[in-house]
Amino acid sequence: SAMREAKVKRTKTVCTFCGVGCSFDVWTKGREILKVEPNAEAPANGISTCVKGKFGWDFVNSEERLTKPLIREGDSFREAEWEEALDLIAKRFREIRSQYGPQSMGFITSSKCTNEESYLMQKLARQVIGTNNVDNCSRYCQTPATVGLHRTVGYGGDAGSIKDIAKAGLVIIVGSNTAEAHPVLATRVKRAHKLHGQKLIVADLREHEMAARADLFIHPNAGSDLVWLSAVTKYIIDMGWADEEFIQMNVNGFEEYRESLAPYTLGYAEEVTGLSKETLIQIAEMIYEADGTAILWAMGVTQHLGGSDTSTAISNLLLVTGNYARPGAGSYPLRGHNNVQGAGDMGSAPENFPGYQRVDNPEVLAKFEQAWGVKLSSEVGINNHDMIEGIHQGTLKAMYVKGEEMGLVDSNINHVHAAYEKLEFFVVQDIFFSRTAQYADVVLPASPSLEKEGTFTNTERRIQRLYQVFEPHGDSKPDWEIIQLVANRLGANWNYQHPSDIMEEAAMLMPIYAGVTYERLEGYKSLQWPVKPDGTDTPLLYTDGFPFSDRKARFYPVQWTKPLDFEEQYDLHLNNGRLLEHFHEGNLTYKSKGISEKTPAVFLEVSPELAAERGLKDGTLVRLTSPFGNVKVKCIITARVKGKEVYLPMNDTGDGAVNYLTSSAADKDTDTPAYKDTRVRMEILQEE
């Protein structure tokens, strides 16, 4: 029996629970996880991890894992073998494509999956099916940040490394609950703030942990960030505090931009944001006095009608003050999922081939046509928001969704579920039977990160390898293998033996990944893109100019978009976001025992003022109603929130899901849902 006993094994992996990209060793025996051990060599985190990285992994062995393909029969599903499921998918995809054309199909890749898997999903859509209708969940979070940066500085990524943030004289956090959403990154800020005199400004609706630590915590009116950012920028220019030498050498369009700031006087900003003139001046002074300013932002900025514009305003401010191309300065959009950055890099977007190369650029198109041996569509595809609208309008007939819980995570989910019911054919590939899978015709069982090889790219553009810890559970397979099976059933002739083969092809076609090879990423080695063919990488962007033809950045004028209008009866502003313990909507972490026992249910944060006005106590059950749906939830009273602002964490996999309440309104430039522009009314319910 000693012979049969499994050996203790130690394998390097990369965390899948947020964009910080912590890497560590997993100690296992058989399928048992003995411990997660950080390693000083880990480039993003060193010896730190947070609770999710340390204890969040037993979902891998959950009894709820999908082990077999499922095929719909009437209102239920039956188990099937792979052959049958793949044959059915190939048959229906062929029929739908020939009846309605390739533009009737939509493909969603996952920002939890590897780079190689996202690469293959977009290749399936483009090469095999013939459509650019491909997207990923960064549409729900970070696409506005990417757009804001592409407009101004050219690369949609963090300007420097996570460790550089510690060198900033001033850190400004806007709309990010960093301590809970990006814990290990927040630790760097906390340490620099405490030990090295770094200054910290936090702008948020909630007084979360980072806000409580800040030198200056500001609470602008909901949805008004662009106004205070622009007023501060204008004041800096008016005072003669702009970095004129930097602007002259490095940035185009200053005069036009300066004129566009005319409306953003201190008086106007005071009126719109509710921040006093003195506070606005104080922010400007802190930026002027700081040796290097880094601005970190997340969903509090992006998930509004003007999310791309506010991201742009942040980048404009950094350009005015010369805060690019030096360590401890610059833009840090904080990517949520582990591979949001990578999914975007790999062309999981309707307008871009891998490497942010436009599908409607003839040179780019020719390059990909030559590499893939087919004629490709140069028509920009539709994003996931328009896919849902397309189903309602009858133009989109089939979808293939990989590793995305769209049915909970998209906004206005009653509207999304109604769309799913209209699909003629729906394939969902996941590790669990998700809410989205309930609407599928075929469900394919995939393997999570611990059961496969590949690479992830974290928020600081760092590409890291993960190694296989376990064999795939049951009959599940790694996503890249499944996509290859589907493609080949549809007549492709792919022959990838290992994810490294996929990366080799991707690197050939993507200038920013040119020098990426698996050898250069062995063990704890990593590369930050752009990576030159000789393997030189770029921890700090823009030191030899900006990636435009004249090497100069561009000021991009933007104007404020007012938040959505709601009827007066919706008298409460509903904010939403994460909890430390849970991964997004919680569909992995609720299946990890240690975590689900600690934080089993969702709750609504209510201010002491509102509690007093309405007679709410901790535990009072309320119904929230918006024009789009309603949820029942229990209250907790906390001074973290103010006045008529309430906060509902997003981790509920059932009837408490916040997206029953959110609308289909979206950022005007990217269609990212305006989750944060939500208002509700509240009724107190009797306890059952």
Task: Tell whether residue 43 is a contact of ligand SF4 (CB under 6 A).
Answer: no
Minimum CB separation from ligand SF4 for residue 338, in Å?
7
Closer Cβ to ligand SF4, 345 or 645, answer by number? 345
The Cα 480–Cα 466 span in angstroms is 14
Minimum CB separation from ligand SF4 for residue 45, in Å?
6
Q: For ligand SF4, what does the binding mask look like between residues 173 and 212, x meaning CB under 6 A?
A: ----------xx----------------------------
Closer Cβ to ligand SF4, 22 or 680, answer by number? 22
Minimum CB separation from ligand SF4 for residue 519, in Å?
25
User: E-assigned strands of 15-163?
Assistant: 23-29, 32-38, 70-73, 76-79, 105-108, 134-135
The residues pairing with 309 across neighbouring beta strands, listed in sequence order, are none
The Cα 239–Cα 295 span in angstroms is 21
Contact segment (CB under 6 A) with ligand SF4 among 47-55, 138-146, 210-218, 534-542 equals 47-55
170, 293 Cβ separation under 8 angstroms: yes
Task: Tell whether residue 20 is a contact of ligand SF4 (CB under 6 A).
Answer: yes
Closer Cβ to ligand SF4, 135 or 460, answer by number? 460
Task: Tell whether residue 465 is a contact of ligand SF4 (CB under 6 A).
Answer: no
Q: Where are the alpha helices (DSSP H) in 261-302?
A: 266-273, 277-289, 299-302
Closer Cβ to ligand SF4, 449 or 476, answer by number? 449
The rounded Cα 188 to chain-centroid distance in angstroms is: 21
The Cα 446–Cα 120 span in angstroms is 15
Task: Tell whether residue 368 is a contact of ligand SF4 (CB under 6 A).
Answer: no
The kind and range of the H/E element at 22 are none
Using Cβ positions, the residue closest to ligand SF4 within the complex turns out to be 53
AA identity, residue 130: G
Contact segment (CB under 6 A) with ligand SF4 among 44-52, 400-408, 498-506, 641-649 equals 44-52
Contact segment (CB under 6 A) with ligand SF4 among 42-50, 112-120, 142-150, 619-627 equals 42-50
Among 12, 28, 53, 560, binds ligand SF4 (CB under 6 A): 53
Task: Tell whether residue 17 is a contact of ligand SF4 (CB under 6 A).
Answer: yes
Contact segment (CB under 6 A) with ligand SF4 among 49-57, 224-232, 506-514, 644-652 equals 49-57
> Tokens standing for 576?
């939403």
Among 13, 15, 446, 641, binds ligand SF4 (CB under 6 A): 15
Task: Tell whether residue 12 is a contact of ligand SF4 (CB under 6 A).
Answer: no
Pairing state between β 70-73 and 442-445: antiparallel
Sign of CA dihedral 395, 398, 403, 404: positive
The Cα 104–Cα 283 span in angstroms is 50
3-state secondary structure of 166: helix
Q: Classify residue 206 as exposed, middle or buried by CB count within 10 Å of its CB (0-12, 13-18, 19+).
A: buried
Contact segment (CB under 6 A) with ligand SF4 among 13-21, 354-362, 435-443, 607-615 equals 13-21
The residues pairing with 507 across neighbouring beta strands, listed in sequence order, are none
What DSSP assignment string belongs to 457-520? E-TTSEEEEE---SPPSTT-B-HHHHHHHHHHHTT-----SSHHHHHHHHHHH-GGGTT--SGG
What DSSP assignment string belongs to 127-146? III----EE-GGGGTTHHHH
The Cα 398–Cα 400 span in angstroms is 7
Closer Cβ to ligand SF4, 15 or 595, answer by number? 15
Minimum CB separation from ligand SF4 for residue 527, in Å?
18
> Tokens standing for 366?
């020719």
Closer Cβ to ligand SF4, 460 or 605, answer by number? 460
Q: Classify residue 162 as exposed, middle or buried by CB count within 10 Å of its CB (0-12, 13-18, 19+).
A: buried
Closer Cβ to ligand SF4, 183 or 515, answer by number? 183
> Tokens standing for 627?
């024009």
Minimum CB separation from ligand SF4 for residue 173, in Å?
16
Closer Cβ to ligand SF4, 15 or 558, answer by number? 15
3-state secondary structure of 120: helix
Contact segment (CB under 6 A) with ligand SF4 among 20-28, 83-91, 190-198, 220-228 equals 20-28
Nearest of 6, 115, 5 to residue 449 by alpha carbon: 115
Closer Cβ to ligand SF4, 49 or 224, answer by number? 49
- Number of residues in contact with ligand SF4 under rule CB under 6 A: 13
The residues pairing with 333 across neighbouring beta strands, listed in sequence order, are 297
Closer Cβ to ligand SF4, 45 or 663, answer by number? 45
Closer Cβ to ligand SF4, 88 or 185, answer by number? 185
Among 12, 13, 22, 69, binds ligand SF4 (CB under 6 A): 22
Minimum CB separation from ligand SF4 for residue 56, in Å?
7
The Cα 85–Cα 476 span in angstroms is 13
Task: Tell whether residue 18 is a contact of ligand SF4 (CB under 6 A).
Answer: yes
Task: Tell whether residue 13 is a contact of ligand SF4 (CB under 6 A).
Answer: no
Contact segment (CB under 6 A) with ligand SF4 among 17-25, 169-177, 317-325, 433-441 equals 17-25
Task: Tell whether residue 167 is a contact of ligand SF4 (CB under 6 A).
Answer: no
Per CB under 6 A, which of residues 390..419 are in contact with ligand SF4? none
111, 278 Cβ separation under 8 angstroms: no
Minimum CB separation from ligand SF4 for residue 18, in Å?
3
Could you count the other beta carbons within 10 Å of the beta carbon of residue 257? 22
Task: Tell whether residue 298 is a contact of ligand SF4 (CB under 6 A).
Answer: no
Task: Tell whether residue 52 is a contact of ligand SF4 (CB under 6 A).
Answer: yes
The Cα 404–Cα 136 span in angstroms is 8
Closer Cβ to ligand SF4, 376 or 588, answer by number? 588
Task: Tell whether residue 50 is a contact of ligand SF4 (CB under 6 A).
Answer: yes
Among 45, 233, 352, 589, binds ligand SF4 (CB under 6 A): 45
Closer Cβ to ligand SF4, 50 or 641, answer by number? 50
Give the footprint of ligand SF4 on this chain (CB under 6 A): 15, 17-18, 20-22, 45, 49-50, 52-53, 183-184
